[in-house]
Amino acid sequence: MVPGFDQDKTFSYCSYACLVSVVGLLTIWVLPNTIALRHVLLGVGVIASIPIIKKSHFFCRQSIWELLPLLLLGSLFAWVLIHLSFFSLNFDLEFKEVKTLWARAILGAILAIGLSIALQKNAKLRPYFFVALFIVSLINIGAYFYMSAISPEGTFISFFNFVDRFVFKKIEAAYFGVLAISVACGNIVYLLGTPSSKQRAKAITWWIVGIAIALIASIINITKNGIGGGVGLCVLLVLTCMARSFFQGSRSALKVAMSLGLVGAILLGGWQMNRLFASPGWDNFIDDVKFSSQIDTHSGWRKNNPESFPIKSNGQMVSGNVYERMSWATAGVRLIKAYPLGYGSINASFVGMLNHAQVEQELESQSHSGWIDFGLAFGVPGLLLLLATFLSILWFGLKHSGQFGLIGAWLAIGLMPFGLFSEINYKHNFEILIFFIAFAAASAVGIKGIKFQTK
């Protein structure tokens, strides 16, 4: 028993309730028309998390410095209230989001802290949470095979047709794929630092299988940001394993690197299939990026779902997905420079700021970059607080280097670049983002006296 840690039936029951609510949320978060059920699960989870946080003496056991990741996240919530009170450019809209979206985000943060404590304390709960991270990927893969089985042709349907028919959006597969792969990478690195055993080898194998499942789901959903984010994490993991093998002579790390290389080679065929079915965003990518960033010379980016895109100097049409993302990102960065305190709305910051700046346009969406959208919403101070939160999670996670410290660090590594080119700030995606930032922060902080058990 850890000194000062209240271990009783209430703590145990609350831990299970917290886990059940999170597994439920991970299952339905991406489904439409589930807001009422999400409220119920959030409520149950928060009610269960409060005794967990209290009985663990989580905040009392740490110094102010050690709580820095969570304090920075809390400062972000404080900045939102300050912004609403003094700097809002659309008070009614911002106030509405504070009462709804931000309220759910705060509840999600409390739930995430409670979950992290419960998992750190009780190793038996961890497999259920880890498996739940792959539910969205498994549903996507299962749905693809089901739709293929019932198709009139009796053959595998094209990925494009699957995406067009399925209820999930492409971002869901990419988002949860990157989150799951990040947690998998953290666990693999942790396991490589534990004594060699059949149990360790089996656990690492399952995590590699999980990474493959998440990547397959991204390929099926023809999502470039999901494939790019997942492959980027895998490359970093391979480099980490190779470095461990070189400096420490670890054969296990070398085997993991080779296994991931094999997985990558197998999925390379899927990548090529993805290129066949996806929009041609990779061809002439550099030229398209350069052209798209020159938003003063073309106005196609101002229209919502245009019938055609601008023609480049070589006579070719610019790739639509690259054009929209790069031109909107360029416009977004300009607006952040012009209005460094932000607009105030998570869901409508891009269009709202364009209207405020009297830029003629017909857009209805965000900029496709989560961090640009957040900067448009809460300005440079909001971006700096968010960046500081991620960096502190990375620092403390690597410093503590236990299982949950590494999970927190790898979540930060996965989310920081992924947010540059993905809409992770829109509606329920924002709630998911805050939940996992809070989970990563609490995991990076850890609990004094608990030595990140493996059993």
**261 pLDDT exceeds 80?**
no
Q: Which residues is 317 bridged to in the sheet?
A: 311
**6 pLDDT exceeds 80?**
no
Looking at residues 212-239, what average pLDDT do you find? 88
Higher-confidence position of 5 and 435: 435
SS3 sequence, the chain? CCCCCCCCHHHHHHHHHHHHHHHHHHHHCCCCCCHHHHHHHHHHHHHHHHHHHHHCCCCCCCCCCCCHHHHHHHHHHHHHHHHHHHCCCCHHHHHHHHHCHHHHHHHHHHHHHHHHHHHHHCHHHHHHHHHHCCHHHHHHHHHHHHHHHCCCCCCCCCHHHHHHHCCCCHHHHHHHHHHHHHHHHHHHHHHHCCCCCHHHHHHHHHHHHHHHHHHHHHHHCCCHHHHHHHHHHHHHHHHHHHHHHHHHCCHHHHHHHHHHHHHHHHHHHHHHHHHHHCCCCCCCHHHHHHHHCCCCCCCHHHCCCCCCCCECCCCCECCHHHHHHHHHHHHHHHHHHHCCCCCCCCCCHHHHHHHHCCCCCCCCCCCCCHHHHHHHHHHHHHHHHHHHHHHHHHHHHHHHCCHHHHHHHHHHHHHHHHCCCCCCCCCHHHHHHHHHHHHHHHHHHCCCCCCCCCC
Domain ranges of the chain: 137-278, 285-356
Higher-confidence position of 9 and 7: 9
Tell me the C-alpha to C-alpha distance, in Å, between residue 369 and each of 25, 89, 182: 24, 21, 20
136-182 pLDDT per residue, tens: 999 999 999 988 888 877 778 888 788 887 767 788 889 999 999 99
At residue 282, the pLDDT reads: 55
At residue 364, the pLDDT reads: 81
**303 pLDDT exceeds 80?**
yes
Residue indicated by tokens 């400096």:
247
CA gap 333, 351 in Å, rounded: 13
At residue 287, the pLDDT reads: 83
At residue 85, the pLDDT reads: 96
Amino acid at 204: I
Looking at residues 265-285, what average pLDDT do you find? 59
79-138 pLDDT per residue, tens: 999 999 999 999 999 999 999 999 999 999 999 999 999 999 999 999 999 999 999 999
Going by pLDDT thresholds of 50, 70 and 90, the confidence category of residue 1 is: very low
At residue 352, the pLDDT reads: 94
At residue 386, the pLDDT reads: 97
**55 pLDDT exceeds 80?**
yes
330-359 pLDDT per residue, tens: 999 999 999 999 999 999 999 999 999 999
**455 pLDDT exceeds 90?**
no
92 HSE (CA, 13 A, CB side): 0
Going by pLDDT thresholds of 50, 70 and 90, the confidence category of residue 266 is: low
Going by pLDDT thresholds of 50, 70 and 90, the confidence category of residue 274 is: low
Could you tell me if 260 and 211 are in contact, meaning their C-beta atoms sit under 8 angstroms apart? yes
Going by pLDDT thresholds of 50, 70 and 90, the confidence category of residue 366 is: confident
CA gap 385, 382 in Å, rounded: 5
171-192 pLDDT per residue, tens: 888 999 999 999 999 999 999 8
**269 pLDDT exceeds 80?**
no
CA gap 354, 356 in Å, rounded: 5
Task: Choose the weakest-confidence range: 42-56, 84-98, 112-126, 303-317.
Answer: 303-317
Highest mean pLDDT among 238-252, 270-284, 314-328, 345-359: 345-359
**276 pLDDT exceeds 80?**
no
The mean of the pLDDT values for the chain is 88
**452 pLDDT exceeds 50?**
no
